[in-house]
Amino acid sequence: MDEFIKKMQDHTKVKSEAEARMMAPLVLAYIGDALYEVFIRNYLINEMTVSVNQYHKRATHYVRAKAQSHVVHALESELSEPEWTIVKRGRNQKSATVPKNADLTEYKYATGFEALLGYLFYIGQYDRLHYLMSKAVALINHDLGDQNG
């Protein structure tokens, strides 16, 4: 499991599933976005040695709404019913803004994906969280390979 996630276990108040389900989906997405961003940055730093600008450019392939939307759809069959419910709750939240480079539907599913990551974090399902983020990286790497080949 990612070292960052392991260390976070000691400093996070794990909530019951019921407590986590009661949290606002955008709050779950807020922490999920941060976790995923750190996961991606750590992944890239461990995979390559490039300038910070190049890390940033590469990271955008993983964290943009289009990629996250693709990931959540690709993982749908692997998600439990409660997990997919969290995705849908995140997807259905009204957002004040949409990034200029994102389609609204993609952005909503990306928010759902981030909400799921936040939910798993708060219920202490760190192995599942790590698995889904690793799977996201693999899916995106596959797509990047298809684009480059």
10 is catalytic: no
Catalytic pick among 2, 10, 33, 103: 33
Contact 20, 81 (CB under 8 A): no
Contact 67, 109 (CB under 8 A): no
What's the DSSP call for residue 123? T
Classify residue 21 as exposed, middle or buried by CB count within 10 Å of its CB (0-12, 13-18, 19+).
Answer: middle
Q: Which residues are known to be catalytic? A: 33
